[in-house]
Structure 1
């Protein structure tokens, strides 16, 4: 490293505490990654821009060679303070980043792909305006420097998005038209720049609400092809969400579906609010200007929309991984009291020794002290250990959870849970996560046509493995894997824990009663499974109409007759087609199968 490079690196390190103090003397973040080569920057995930943030580990990454190429070495304090602003002000968290993108996407019909860019420009304006006006930093000089470095031909190729963006800064900071690269002769662009500046100032403390208005302002300009390299160079939040777990995205927010006004039609921006309205609380003003017939809060997103938001936030996930997150998030608020069985005597745990801890075991079971004593470099599944406990009898009775054996129909008649909401899949997720919560083990099997099935490796405790099976999709023929049910319970020990068998299907579940490959009747296999499981059996089915009250005197045949016969044989059958029926099923499941620990209770 040369002496000049060493001095430059020292200057950036010295600027870091000052940049933190620009926001608050209590601001704390990890030290920035100051990349001295392009290769190092690429390894950190930084390409196309000279700076970026990562919300997963609260990091700021700077590409020093790119900063030098742009002639911005003297602005280390301003650049670092700006990146810190993304962690402190906007978007600040992975969840708010995703919420911001969701609102902007709704304001960009057919152009949703531009939402990450619009969100980046919007949050940059919020941050830079605060740093320039309240902290006295030279944010305007950075853009003036960038504008001065452009060749005349490049100036002529500036997109209208870039000109509008620079025009907003000129309005915010009362700079002469064109001094930062904004419009000079275009009256319409200058008018839009004024509206954009008003959005930034009016909604500075309610920036999520103002996001849709800003997107509406840019929408006509996005109809042009945006290939301005100057815009791309500023995209420091493009992949900010990579590795994060935004929460709360499965449902629309209260005001998210309300029509988004153009800034020119917003009384708060144009100054047409009456004095009484202006002095009213923000939530009161919002109610006054929201369509009374707009959808109420609590409406759920579809899985494909949920996935598009996550991808826009920078998460690299496939449809199956997105579905796992979606159904986990939707199921958690509806977990039920899962069935347990009272045992004659409870047993007290006594520590006896150590055994390997492997991925899928409970995280809180790791004995970190012993793991570190074995090796200072912790490798999950290799050097991690957990404490073995023996059992000593106590006087109090103990409740033992019932394990869950889950069979999920994935034939062509079933909805693809990765594309749109499947309430059957959601029902399975509610029951499975409830089972895991009380310490039960779950075996999950996904099935469709003959030889089309996927299952967990027996009864497991891994939430991820179970949801992967539950949210999978084949879309083939319909043939229940009778051999899986037979093999699970054919030689099950009598002392094994009780199991509840749950089928998620439609009328195709009746293929379970056909003959297996050995010619054995499926009715016999199902009856043996119920006896060996000792925890009961349930079918959550997507049927067009409810079943008759009884098999007698109905003359029912086909799949209706089979289901009535199955019900008489001990299977609990529930129709699940929407959220109301799902919640009713979950409550009824808990009522029917929960065994109270104390005598006289039924809750």
Structure 2
């Protein structure tokens, strides 16, 4: 419940005035009281205000605002939040783009500086008419932190506002910390003055951001340990996977402005490096993001990168089949307490159970109606992908064998075939169910085990009995030859070849002489093919040629 002085009428009036300050029409609901994330925790650690963009709702921590002695600053706080939505950053795609560049300049940065960057932009506009209200918030914030020392980053940030708004030194920064900070960072006050005079006069936001990074890098300490709190910080939502994906493709738009920043001497403290590999960029931007411990965002971005590589090799792009939706009813069964109520088929229950329908309902699950192949003669495809330590983790570095598997998989699925993947290494192979859409197959084939190589001949034998007409492709390197030489392996390979429409050994080898010697017995089988790729860089192109040879009429 908000404090009594924050009446609905007062909040409504401040909200209208905050909207008028930006002179924009935004689809945001009027502010509501913040509900503590952790009710038993100190409310000083909760955000003062933020926007939930999913609900387009502004929240204000009225109790915290009043305890800070800044109750009269409500209008400025609301105007600050509207400013994030209306202009800075305005879109989360722009926020993602800045974060990608930020990690390029400051690799390993634990906490993004973009929110601080936007606050400098927003507060310049709000501070034209409500500078004292914002100052009251920053002073109150420091009081709530008690004896906690002011970090160099926050000290420099406050010093900029003192220069921007014509405040005396010590009006916002702690007076007791002024001499120690100047001793630790000589020229700090002069740099804050120069920043306030330069930052807002730069002609475009890309130059602004590079100048901002160049100025603040001095006060970060160790980037991989950075952790800061702002009174109006952490109030911009996180970009989604589409935002991040688009931002990762935007590197070319920054090259000219990066060159200009280096000519101006801004990035002297930043090593001049080439734009990092895209997979390395994905690792950097997802390494410290909250809520990504399970790697879902990273995996989604990696999958999109491989999809683009696959499409480069597959020039012809027929329409992909849609994912089978579960809509076919299964055989009815008695519904029991604890089962999903939505599974009850009431129509069937009433027709068959009569007056006992209410006490003896029947349930029927939904199953997918698997689409039949639209092109006669296209076989089912099984892909055996070697993910041993001789090849890199595909999420961290381009794995040519993984790319080859994805090319073959996409080719088959675009011909309306079904695909099964088997990822193996030295133990515990992973076998997928039959897959009918590229997204699911792509995600599965990004799996990685590492370690030594032990081909799963037992799984090959079992699956060849289960699906004798499938087309099977083994993607590996010279390790496969060592596996075939083991006792009983060649016999299993020959039997499985005879039970397959075709079995292809797709191997990365410098030459094929030894392969032909080792594989001599199975090369005599009419259903076996050996395809050797000399250079790993050619694996994707070779997979495209192989898929055309195997699947085109």
**TM-score, length basis structure 1:** 0.67
Aligned to 2:418: 441
Q: CA deviation at 1:442?
A: 2.3
Q: Which runs of 5+ in 2 are unaligned?
A: 319-326, 331-344, 349-362
Aligned to 2:352: none
Aligned to 2:360: none
Aligned to 2:284: 308
* Secondary structure of residue in 1 paired with 2:245: coil
Q: CA deviation at 1:539?
A: 4.7
Aligned to 1:189: 188
Aligned to 1:128: 123
> Using a 3 Å threshold, how does the CA distance of structure 1 residues 480 and 73 change in structure 2: closer, same or farther?
same
In 2: Cα distance, 1:55 partner to 1:434 partner: 39
> Using a 3 Å threshold, how does the CA distance of structure 1 residues 262 and 125 change in structure 2: closer, same or farther?
farther
* Secondary structure of residue in 2 paired with 1:530: coil
Equivalent position to 1:405, from 375, 382, 390: 382
* Secondary structure of residue in 1 paired with 2:4: helix
2:159 aligned with 1:167: yes
Per-residue CA deviations over 1:254-284 (Å, capped at 9, x if unaligned) read: 2657895897972899xxxxxxxxxxxxxxx
Aligned to 1:103: 101
Q: CA deviation at 1:330?
A: 3.2
In 2: Cα distance, 1:87 partner to 1:565 partner: 69
Q: Which runs of 5+ in 1 are unaligned?
A: 270-290, 341-352, 357-370, 375-381, 392-396, 549-555, 597-603
Residue correspondence of structure 1 range 311-460 to structure 2 within 5 A: 311-319=287-295, 322-332=298-308, 334-335=310-311, 336=314, 354-355=328-329, 402-436=379-413, 439-449=416-426, 451-456=427-432, 458-460=433-435
How many residue pairs match? The answer is: 504
In 1: Cα distance, 2:395 partner to 2:141 partner: 48
Given that residues 126 and 200 in structure 1 are in contact (C-alpha distance below 8 angstroms), is that contact kept between their aligned partners in structure 2?
A: no
Q: Which shows bigger deviation, 427-436 or 164-173?
A: 427-436
RMSD in angstroms over aligned alpha carbons? 4.9
Aligned to 1:211: 209
Given that residues 22 and 81 in structure 1 are in contact (C-alpha distance below 8 angstroms), is that contact kept between their aligned partners in structure 2?
A: yes
Residue correspondence of structure 1 range 268-283 to structure 2 within 5 A: none
Q: CA deviation at 1:306?
A: 1.1
> Using a 3 Å threshold, how does the CA distance of structure 1 residues 229 and 402 change in structure 2: closer, same or farther?
closer
Equivalent position to 1:476, from 451, 460, 468: 451
Q: CA deviation at 1:481?
A: 0.9
Q: CA deviation at 1:447?
A: 0.8
> Using a 3 Å threshold, how does the CA distance of structure 1 residues 36 and 319 change in structure 2: closer, same or farther?
closer
> Using a 3 Å threshold, how does the CA distance of structure 1 residues 440 and 594 change in structure 2: closer, same or farther?
closer
* Secondary structure of residue in 1 paired with 2:244: coil
Q: CA deviation at 1:96?
A: 2.8
In 2: Cα distance, 1:485 partner to 1:571 partner: 16
Q: CA deviation at 1:95?
A: 3.6
Q: CA deviation at 1:500?
A: 3.9
Q: CA deviation at 1:486?
A: 2.0
Residue correspondence of structure 1 range 86-101 to structure 2 within 5 A: 86-101=84-99
* Higher share in helix: 2
Q: CA deviation at 1:242?
A: 7.2
In 1: Cα distance, 2:248 partner to 2:548 partner: 28
> Using a 3 Å threshold, how does the CA distance of structure 1 residues 243 and 592 change in structure 2: closer, same or farther?
closer
**TM-score, length basis structure 2:** 0.72
Q: CA deviation at 1:126?
A: 1.5
Equivalent position to 1:573, from 531, 535, 547: 531
* Secondary structure of residue in 2 paired with 1:220: helix
* Secondary structure of residue in 1 paired with 2:114: helix
Residue correspondence of structure 1 range 153-164 to structure 2 within 5 A: 157-164=149-156
